[in-house]
Structure 1
Amino acid sequence: MAPHPTNDVVSDSESTLPNAAPNPDKDLKSAHSPASSSNSTRSIENGPHLPTNAPGDAADGQNATEDGAGGAQAEAQAQDGQPQRSKLKIALIMLSLCIAVLLVALDITIVTTALPTIAEQFHSASGYTWVGSAYLIANSAATPIWGKVSDIFGRKPILLVTNAIFFVGSLLAAVSVNMNMLIAARVIQGIGGGGLIVLVNICISDLFAMRERGAYFGIIGGVWALASSMGPIVGGALTQNVSWRWCFYINLPFDGLAFIIILLALDLHTPKTPLLEGLKAVDWLGSLTMVAGTIMVLLGLEFGGVTFPWNSATVICLIVFGVLTIALFFFVEQRLAPYPLMPLDLFFKRSNMAALGVCFFHAFVFISGSYFLPLYFQAVLGATPILSGVYLLPTALSLSFFSAFTGVFIRKTGQYLPCIWFGLTFMLAGFGSFIDLGPHSSWAKIIIFQIIAGIGVGPNFQSPLIALQSLVPKRDIATATATFGFIRNLGSAISIVVGSVIFQNQIASQGPLLVSSLGPETASAFSAGSAGANVGLINTLPAPQKEVARRAFADSLNPPSAFPLPNPKSAQNHVKFEPQR
């Protein structure tokens, strides 16, 4: 078998997915075995089309039919000694995984419409952005670690552990007595949520053949998209009609149900790794440097220009030492770690980097819209928390449909590149259009722009992941999936942090106008970090002052809306997949 080239691209034939079923027992055993580092395993890179064992598959690489794909999976399961799962069991497993994804995604955006109420109750305008940022920063930092730990101790035990951590974090958030406790609880939630989302994707990779994964990833992508978009609606409804605390209480029964189903139904192989040996196999130095570097960089971006000036020692030290620590992480992975947290070969192949680049830009753009559009609806259009969520329905419905449709398309055709290009094009058009939103934009414009954006966001929830998994050896699928999750969460966290900094700096620049029109006392409520927490005050102002405040918010929100605009185009310019013919 020929070695993998250093600068590979995906040809038209290579980007057609095979139907070979995975063997999680063998893959899990080899994932932390020293011998695995030198053994080459079969991947889609190694030939134009892999044998699929599916009846009706032609030797010349024609796409398998749906029935053939199912037959190949069943046959391969029987040959590899995997359990034969009934449709009911698969449905139960997918239900539990979908619940886990729903809760993790919901908690990214469910607080967006509740934040003004939370900040007002705890008298902490400065904690406004931290409630969201803390969750995503912890989520990002924890993701790669959980993927590697699951290689050592097995998917099911670690999935249950992360489920329990998320449960505890949700409970603590629901009973928080001050802003500091709530932020700490969100960190715990993020640690558990980072493990849940990456392990869901890894479990699907272990359960289903490559061609079959498209449909199941499509389901997961649809759930993620729908939950992220519905979060503001649910959060607004609970905040307005019950209490913001129910944004977190609502997780508990569903999380418990998912835990029970996973415990009883999920039957993936669990290695009998002794605890001490397993702990020794964890890349502790790599984990420490990766977590520390990520947190320092994100904190530096969070503080810059708002809490501290950009040229302050605090901000400069956080960013500089964060970058140096991340560089140290790569040195540790390359030279010191016997079982690296991330396979660095992943970053030396152009097609892999293209898939990860699409992942980053997709997360950056989508979360920016999910976070700042509800603020636009409340501050500029005067919507209540629940209505600001309802106004996001065009995005939620369009992206959920196209995410699910993409999964079906990939399953039927085995082609993922058309989905990636299609999504990037519409994402650029949709989010680029948001620049045109002002204080008096028509509803037709708002709805059409959201639908276009949703059409673009939907296909790329799972297409880049399928592309990445098809490009790496089987032994690296778990760590590659964890890396993908890390990049996605990092893009989300950076989007919120940088978008918040831009918004707060822009609203601060409106200070003289607000002081002259509203008076110093009222204007101070809309200064920098206080602005997002006091949007409800706008509707209490007299009409002339209300117009000034709304225009100030509209002008200040335009940069965060426009900030992601270059990113989809940049992603298109840097995706070096060869076009399919």
Structure 2
Amino acid sequence: MDETTPLLLRNQSHALSKKRLLAVFPALALIQFTSFLDQTAISTSLPAIASALDTGASISLVGASFLITSTSIQLINGRLSDIFGRKAALVTALCIMGAGNLWSGFCTTPLQLFVSRACTGFGAGAINALVQIAIADITTLEQRGYYFGMVGMAVAFGNGLGPVVGGVLTQSFGWRWAFWFVCPLCLAAIAYLSSVWPSTPRYDAGRSNISSRLKLIDWPGAVGASPARAGTLLLPMVVAHGLTSALTGIIISATGRYKPVIVFGAFCWVSAALGKLFLNQTSEIWKVALVGVLDGLGVGCSLQPGSDTENRAVLTGLRNFVRDLGGATGTTVSGTTLSNLLFAQLQHRFSPEMIARLTSSAFALKDLGLTDSERRLISGAYMNSLKVIYVTFAPPLHRNIRQNEYLESDNCQRYTSVTMPPPKPTRFNSFWSPLMLLWPAITIHWATFKEAFRTRGFAALWNPTKQLEYGVASLLSETSEGFIEYESTTVVPSLVKQARGKILELGPGPGNQIHRFDPDLVESICAIDPNPNFNDDIALKLQASALESRYKFVVCGVEDSDILRAEGVTEGSLDTILSIQVMCAVNDPRAIMKEVWKLLKPGGQFIFWEHGKSRDTLTSIGQTLWNPAWSTFVGCNMNRDIRGAILAAGEWEGLENVEETDDPLTFLPRFWGVLVKKA
């Protein structure tokens, strides 16, 4: 395609005869009626939905997710209908709305319902505008008011009947039918519209296929694009903004933490501002789209509520005032800067009148009879001027990141009444639960890297494994008290107290179990860990125990037989091997467990409290999705078959005593027991 390629269909306005209009208009009225019927029908079904899916206070997200996507699609669906045609756009919107409602009726978790309603919103939001556009196409100016009034009646009927129909269906057949009943209406509307809508002539028969139309959605006026093409530059940002606004609200509701979302958004915003500096007239479309996506992510994540209840009304008004003030100031300053920079670059080649005309719009280039070299000169001047403006965005956005460091890190629970019962665990909440530890882990790794880079410079990059080990040790050290407190509510204390005789403790970390050993049963403890960064924590905890002379920390793994032999640990020499959340972090659990079995003497006991792959299919899929980040920053794996590795190590007694959690939703399903090596 070049600049002479038509972007849109020929003019789609074609007033119909009264007879034909009477056939076509009911189709549009039915579509609009169906759309508003869908929007309001679930209002009376929400209590039943909240009870069935146990959504709690997050039930409001059913409507919020729908409204966010239906609003975000408004900016682009008209232009898409110009490219693909009104009928194709309406049929697609009806298909999306029908499919979304069908999906909503089959939802079994709050997350599925929120996402399905967001998808439905794309279709319903597009319909509302497309029907009005279509009416304007097929009616004259004199007829238009009458037919818009008739559509208003369809809207009123949809709004009025929706709650009634939804309530009756929910009471008679269940809440799922409040979604499903829309599907046959969508099919009827599609069939009716397809049969009566007049065909639109194509501007080029050779370009009537879908692939050629998709090519018309161009992203490339500083690069010489037409207004319509330049307008599509907003697509990545608008879509990313709409989806992110919906998802971030869901994430905050699930995790109760808003600071990570806001900080992530600020980083995306700065990245977008800096990314614009690398764009030019020949930049590939994917680069422009990527910058737009980062912009959308930044806006969608950054504008989150984080104020106290008593200040929220005032601060919301202040936020809106500052936003509008910034928009007005930014537009004025940017426009003035652009004019001055263009004048400085072009004054030697063009008259002030010509520069003034160019300043008003880059789209004027094609109407001025300029040569190719002059177009390139002007386009380059525009790009250079815009980069100067983009540079000015980066410092305040960077300042935004620094200010976000002062946000309180506590969760959103402080804004809820203390009389509210804690929310019941749901699959949706469980899916986001790893963020509660993953985000602090990433923060600690970043802090340790900055310190290493400050002291050692680029040498800190030469050994990433060593840096990760130090980061994991710092994480476990900082969270030690929290883990000790949590494990005190489990069977861990009773398990550790059973350790006796000559003991090998695997992966002691910062020494969380030292205070739990029974000194009267302990002959000696050899604690081994390949991470050398736990010495100080262990030494500190030993000072407060009665085991200081009988406890030794050795930097090695269970497979390092030479080092263990020097410590008196050989095959068949140990009374007890203790493993508390260790097998998830070793390289090969099955190989390690075989070594464990060999080191135990006959009758020796293997005491363990581990976590591994969930037996629940959906949870195990979630574990696989989270595991790359979890294993990198937390230092262990979620989705290993640790139980199988333990049981397959050798012949054990006490297999019937192995217990496990019965929670299918947790991403860290625990199992524990005391196994005895058969004599």
Relative contact order higher in (CA < 8 Å, ≥ 6 apart): 1
* Structure number, greater radius of gyration: 2
More helix by share: 1
Same fold (TM over 0.5): no
TM-score with structure 1 length normalisation?
Answer: 0.41
